[in-house]
Every structure is written in C-alpha cells, then in structure tokens.
Chains A and B, each alone.
Chain A
Amino acid sequence: MENSLSRSRLLAALGGALGAAALPLSARAASAPLMDVIVERPYDWGTPLAELDGLDGLYTSNRAFFIRSHMGPPPSIDRAAWRLTIDGMVERPLQLSLDDLRKMEHVDVPAVLQCSGNGRFFYGTAFPTASHPAGAQWQYGGVGHARWTGVRMRDLLHRAGVKSGARYSNNYGLDNPLLPTTPKFIRGLELEKLLDPGSILAYEMNGEPLPYYHGFPVRLIVPGWAGDHWVKWITHMTIADAITTDFWTSAGYRYPNKLGTPGKGVKPTDEHPVTTLNVKSLILSPLDGARPRAGTATVVRGVAWSGDGAVVRRVEVSVDGGRSWRDADLGESPGRFGWRTFSHRWTPQAGTATIMARATDDRGAVQPRVSPWNPGGYLWNAIQSVQVEAAHA
C-alpha cells in the first residue's frame, strides 16, 4: 500500500509534465477479473461476490470495481484542460485545476460506494406478481469498497465562502446524454452533508489515479450516501438556496414518503431524494451452489456496512435457514464509512444448508427479511440466503 501510494504521487507529478498518456501503467494488472454484465451499453457492470474483497481482503480492486453511468462516459478528458467550477451563492467563485486540488491538504477516506438500485432484482423475487421496479436489474454487485483520496469539500467551501441562505450544492459531471433532449446528469444535495469531513473531491482510488470509468480526473465522494450523489467526471458545483429541479433530482432517485401498494407508482412530489444507505451484509464465501466437504471445518465470511456514518456493531450468521443465529467475529472497522469483514467457523453436516447473515449497526438498525417495495427499487438490504450442499468426500 505504501508503495502504490508513493508511486501514485510520483505518477501525479509526472502527469503534470507528460499528460494523461503517461499514466495507464496499472492497465497491466496481473489477471483480468470477470464482471457481471447488467446493461451492455452504456456499461452497468457488477462486481462478482468473489471479487468484492479482492484488494487486501478488505477493498475492491479498481479493475473489478462495479461500473455505472447514466448515459456513458465522456469521449475523452484532457487532464491539463480540466477545471472544476464552484459558483452560485459564494463570495469567491472558484475555478480549480487538478494541480490546484493536489496542492491542497488531502485526506484518505475508506468508504463503501453502492448504487441506490443495487439489489433491485430481488424486489421482483420477493413481490413476484406486482410490477417489478423499473431499472437495471442489479443483484449483489453494484457495490464496492475503496480508499478514496482527495480534498475535503468543507475546505473548498470555506475557501469559496458560502453566502448565508445557501443550503444546497447542485452538481454536474460529464455523464452526458447522446441526445440533446435527454436531461444532463445533475444531482443536488444538502451542503450540510458536504461539510462532513468525510465528503471529499477524490482524485485517487486505492492509491492510484481515479480510473476513467470511475470519474477521471475527479469525482465527488459522499460517504454513507447512495452512489447517485458521487458525481463522476465532475466539472461544476452550483451553490444555491434550492435543490435543482433537474430530472435526476426531481424525478430520479426518489423514495416514497409513504410506502404504498407493491407494483403501484408514486408521484415524484410524494417522494424525497434517496440519500443514506442502510445496514447490509453480503456473504462472500461460500457462494450459492457451493459443495463444501461434510464434517470438515470451513468459514462463512463476508462484509457488512451501513449508511451515513453508522457503524456495523454485530453480524449474526445462521446455517439453518434463519432458525438459529450465532454471532460472527468482526474485523476492524476501517472508519465510519467503510465496511468491515465478518467470519464464522462452521462444520457442515451432509445435506443441504441455507446460510444467512444479519447485520446490526450502532444505531440499532437490523437487516430485514424483505425490504419494502418502492417504485424505484432502491435500497434493497434484505438478508441474503446462500444454498450449499455438503457431501462426504
């Protein structure tokens, strides 16, 4: 980790002189992981469960990290010409280059990035006769964990001088539509969240420059909040007294104020923006359909996280389909916004077994059996079931 950090700093210094062409060294990764193709174009590609902790057993590697954009990445980005504008209700509008950002104090923030629609597929399983929620049918892999490096938003907002009465930042990145009639991607959020010391403008991911598909050269990190706020290829933040009325905030990524009948739509005016993630765990091993050896000790292991700074304090594992639960061992918490690992030793008996994990956070939130149906299919965090069949060798 030390090495990759210093290498990336070196690359950053070189990058200024040589341009982006000098950067793609890590393209020579030893082996190329396979991804789950959710949408073929533009890419919505999920990370397979077995790859989620592929970096140091705790983080998701940049190469295997899930890819999602609304309309697709920009055709190219000139690193030297890239600027971020912060304007609107500020005393001193800012226009910053990547080098300007790199000269500022930086912090590392380990944080889980999850698409708000991750797990949407399972609403269709839980409510089979109702209209399934519309959208890409993500299962498990619209999530990842990385160490993000960049500049605190509160330092930038302090530098710009937020005027009184300003409450929102409306953020735009180069996730541009193909047709001029399709709304651009603009997502607004509360300044209060950006003042959290964990909210940063990141230019590094896991100690490497931010890869192209993950928002090169800079993306917004809004830890504990759903991925739709983590604007990629960000170029413009407008500070305002009102949240944007653009489609992607006023109609997209909204959750009903009051849960209704499964399958029935809700008017956007009766919904609010999806913001914080919720408590969730994933079993990374064994995988569904595995055939462990009966009578031989094995380990059920996985990762668990929550939203908006809540930390997972307990994970229970069941190996009998939820009839009985045992506390799993928890790994260190890498911070308020990261996930932590869990493991539970288990000696399977011959036959089939249903393995489950149930996380609880330090605010008392517990994973449900089924998440409540909502029109966008957001925030699925129900307990996962893994079927295995143990046999004697």
Chain B
Amino acid sequence: MRKLVVLGAALFAATFAAYAGVGAQETAPVHAGPVTLPAGPELLALQNSCEACHSLNMVTQQRLSAATWKAEVTKMRGFGAPLKAAQEPAVVAYLARYLGPTAPRTAARTTATAPPITYGEPPRP
C-alpha cells in the first residue's frame, strides 16, 4: 500500500514536472467537438492541473454553470489538483464562458477498439 502511494506520488511528480516544462511554451487551442478552447494561461492551468489524474475530455464534455464549475474546481483542488488559489477565479470564469450550459455540444463520441481481456494486470498498450 505504502509502495503504491510512493509510486503515485512519484508518477505525479514526474507528470507535473513534464507539464511545468510545457508551461514555458505557447499553448495551442484545444478543439473538443463543437467547442474550441482558446490558448492562454487558463487553458494551460487546466492542462497542468486536471491532466495529472484524468484526460481533459472529462472536463470539455461538461456544460456547467459558473456556480457548478466553481464547486467542481474547489472539489478538485481539495483532491490535490495543483491549481493555485489565485488562479481559481480566472479558471472558473474561463470554464463558464466556454463550457457553460448553452455552449454547443454533440452526442457523437469517438470510438476505440475494446481492450483485450487480461487478468493479472491491465492490457499493455
């Protein structure tokens, strides 16, 4: 168990270090179905924080009010998302602006081949 926690922390540190490196560069906009998230410090903050644990499409598929985005961001910061308190208002405003309830969305989903069945460990990519 302890080993797992250490491994998790190490993985996180490595991931974070990788993103911190990207942080020095320009970001590209993210195209998520019918929505384009413009490049900028808010997008970079989202990529640095959210993608430590899950893909950004977990975020971009949602259409939430500013109050609900704030609740989500606060919850995730509590979980350990590396987003500074000072960044939170701008990030919430960005999410509410581009991923609010009336932002366009699609029912279309990408598809992928079902992973092979394995037992002792997950399938190797």
A interface, CB within 8 angstroms of B: 19-21, 23-24, 26-27, 29, 32-43, 45-46, 48, 62-64, 67, 71, 73-79, 121, 124, 128-132, 134-137, 139, 176-183, 208-209, 211-213, 216-217, 263, 265
Contact = CB atoms under 8 A, between A and B. Distances in A.
B120 to A, nearest CB: 3
B61 A32 contact: no
Contacts of A179: 8-9, 12, 52-53, 79-80
Interface in B70-124: 71-72, 78-80, 101-102, 105, 107, 109-123
B54 A131 contact: no
A35 B53 contact: no
Interface in B45-81: 52-55, 57-58, 61-65, 67-68, 71-72, 78-80
A341 B60 CA distance: 36
9 contacts: A20-B120, A40-B58, A63-B117, A130-B101, A134-B64, A177-B53, A181-B78, A212-B123, A265-B68
**A-B interface, 7 closest residue pairs, ranked by CB to CB distance from nearest:** A20-B120, A181-B80, A131-B65, A40-B55, A179-B80, A76-B121, A41-B55
Nearest to A132: B63
A67 B110 CA distance: 15
B4 interface: yes
Contact of B120 (A41, A121, A212): A212
A76 B120 contact: yes
A46 B110 CA distance: 11
Q: How large is the interface on B (under 10, 10 to 19, 20 to 34, 35 or more residues)?
A: 35 or more
Nearest to A42: B54
A180 B80 contact: yes
A129 B64 CA distance: 10
B24 interface: no
A39 B57 contact: yes
B101 A75 contact: no
A132 B101 contact: yes
Given A39-B55, A209-B119, A34 B79 contact: no
B7 interface: yes
A180 B52 CA distance: 13
Nearest to B109: A36
A212 B112 CA distance: 18
A178 B120 contact: no
Contact of B9 (A32, A64, A180): A180
Contacts of A23: 119-120
Contacts of A34: 111-114
A36 B110 CA distance: 6
Contacts of A181: 78-80
